[in-house]
Amino acid sequence: MPSKTLPIGQEIMARADHLARWSDMPGGLTCAYLTPAHRATAKQLRQWMVEAGLRASVDALNNVVGRWSSDVPDAKTLIVGSHYDTVRDAGRYDGRLGILLPIAVAAQLKAEGRALPFHLEIIAFAEEEGVRFGTTYLGSSAVAGRFDPAALAAKDKDGITVAEALRDTGLPADEIPDAARRSEDLLGYLEIHIEQGPVLLNAGLPLGVVTAIAGAVRRKLTITGEAGHAGTVPMGYRRDAAAAAAEIVLAVEKICGSMPGLVGTVGQLAVPDGAVNVVPGRCELSLDIRAGDDTLRDEALADVEREIAAIAARRKVTIASVDLLRAPAVSCAPAMLKRIADAVVKAGVPVHSLPSGAGHDAVMFGGVTDVGMLFVRCGNGGISHNPREIMTADDAELAAQVFRDILLDYSA
């Protein structure tokens, strides 16, 4: 168990190490929704919340909620949170930093006898990554009042549904709507997260102020050409589905590399039933385009669509497209941006503003309440979702100081 005498940055790091003991896999960290490792992690987080002087509870989705109630009449609630589930073979700080850091700061403020003129809720969201059931944002969507009951029917690889997993864990699925917070009761939502990228590292800065969380469009493309003998079909007569796919990959790279803040990725590429001596007649690929501005993203998507149509016509193939996801960008509230930036400056750090290309639980609170995010520098080239994900105790300490000053600024 981490020592209570450690400086706050070291305490956060030690607790992240402690949580990594519970894993679904040997020799690494995987913590999927409602597995034994997941339930043990929730139990530990709840204990730390209690030790910090918070009133801790677990809701119907296994979100762990630590509440510091204010004595001020009609006080609103500031939610600070992130997720404690992980991807497969994960790092130790993605999501979990945004839980452990506010718990440590709340404990520090309570030990000093401070009082807040607002309610503070530190929420450890139970599921954001979607590893077990292919779902995302289960925990935060419920708190934001956006839970989709259809998610209860999602199945894991063993055919167990979310509803069955909740029942087997003793969690009351019929009480999920009770987790929703009312917009009029909220002061805002703040998330502290590792950057999961190299921008701050390359800039030599420990902290960044997030301006927006990128909106994304994801699609599955199926290219149908004509299979043929690799030795007897002349090059000019081919309707090669894989060659068309290759052109699409390069087109996405060119179009999405032309504007700052825009990214495009083909992360999956397959030739079903392909053979070394057969011209590919079918190819499947994914498309993921993101930007912090929906207009920029949609203009890029339109350019990609025009290029895909031209490729299909030129190569005499057909290309079918199915939308998998369309998520709008979430802009951080100007008041939140200023509050976070002021605290960063107070900590002696230059303000570096940047968008988040990754999705976060904060997405669920866009349009529900003011949203703000603070990024903390990653090491190892900014790698995340990987065992080589690292950060430093000094950066955690600095981020804790900034979070503390944000709370005290609200109080002032």
Q: Per-residue pLDDT for 5 more than 90?
A: no
Q: What is the pLDDT, as a whole number, of residue 116?
A: 95
Per-residue pLDDT tens over the stretch 117-175: 999 999 999 999 999 998 989 999 999 999 999 999 999 999 999 999 999 999 999 99
What's the pLDDT at 6? 87
Residue 141 host element (H or E):
helix 138-143
Please, which residues have CB within 8 angstroms of residue 39's CB and are 6 or more apart in sequence?
A: 62, 169
User: Confidence class of residue 2 from pLDDT cuts 50, 70 and 90?
Assistant: low
pLDDT at position 194: 98
Domain ranges within the chain, ordered by starting residue = 8-213+329-411, 215-327
* CA-closest candidate to residue 224, choices 287, 316, 314, 286: 316
Q: In the prediction, which pLDDT does 260 show?
A: 87
Q: How confident is the model at residue 302 (pLDDT cuts 50, 70, 90)?
A: very high
Q: Please, where are the H alpha helices in 257-389? A: 294-315, 334-346
Long-range contacts (CB closer than 8 Å, 24 or more residues apart) made by 264-271: 264/288, 264/289, 264/290, 264/300, 264/304, 265/289, 269/245, 271/241, 271/242
Do residues 330 and 214 lie in contact, with contact meaning Cβ atoms separated by under 8 Å? no
Beta strands per DSSP E along 328-404: 330-331, 353-356, 371-376
Q: Rounded to whole angstroms, how far apart are CA atoms 24 and 331? A: 35
Average pLDDT on 309-334 reads: 94
Band of the pLDDT at 1, cuts 50, 70, 90? low
- Average pLDDT value for residue range 293-307: 96
Alpha-carbon gap, residue 392 to 384, rounded angstroms: 14
With a threshold of 0.95, does the pTM exceed it?
no
pLDDT at residue number 410: 85
**Band (3; pLDDT cuts 50, 70, 90):** low
What's the pLDDT score for residue 4?
57
Share of the chain above pLDDT 70, in %: 99
Of 114, 199, 127, 206, the C-alpha closest to 169 is 127
pLDDT for residue 412 is more than 80:
no
Sign of CA dihedral 305, 308, 314, 319: negative
In eight-state DSSP terms, residue 267 is: -
What does the CA dihedral 39, 45, 50, 55 come to, rounded to 10 degrees? -80
Residue 357 phi/psi, 5-degree rounding, is: -80, -20
Answer whether 154's CB lies under 8 Å from 135's CB: yes
Q: What's the confidence (pLDDT) of residue 218?
A: 92
* First-to-last C-alpha distance (Å) of the chain: 35
Q: May I ask the CATH architecture of the domain 8-213+329-411?
A: 3-Layer(aba) Sandwich (3.40)
Whether the pLDDT of residue 199 is over 70: the answer is: yes
- Mean pLDDT on 348-372: 95
Write out pLDDT tens, residues 264-284.
999 999 999 999 999 999 999
Share of the chain above pLDDT 90, in %: 93
* pLDDT at residue 389 greater than cutoff 70: yes
Please give the helix or strand (H or E) that residue 192 lies within, else none. strand 186-194
Exposure string for 105-132, b = 16+ CB within 10 A, e = fewer: bbbebeeeeeebebbbbbbbbbbbbbbb
Tokens of 253: 């790279």
Mean pLDDT of 337-347: 97
- Mean per-residue pLDDT of the chain: 96
Bridge partners, 56 (sequence order): 66
Q: What is the mean pLDDT of residues 226-243?
A: 97
Q: What is the DSSP letter of 2?
A: -
Backbone angles phi, psi at 185, to 5 degrees: -95, -5
CATH, range 215-327:
3.30.70.360
Show Cβ contacts of residue 398 under 8 Å, excluding neighbours closer than 6 positions.
Answer: 9, 206, 207, 347, 349
pLDDT recorded at residue 164: 98
Determine the Cα–Cα distance for residues 221 and 283; give it in Å rounded to an integer. 8
CB 185 within 8 A of CB 85: no
The partner residues of 45 in beta bridges, in order of sequence, read none
On whether the CB atoms of residues 290 and 215 are closer than 8 A, the answer is yes
DSSP string, 70-100: --STT--EEEEEEE----TT--SSTTTHHHH
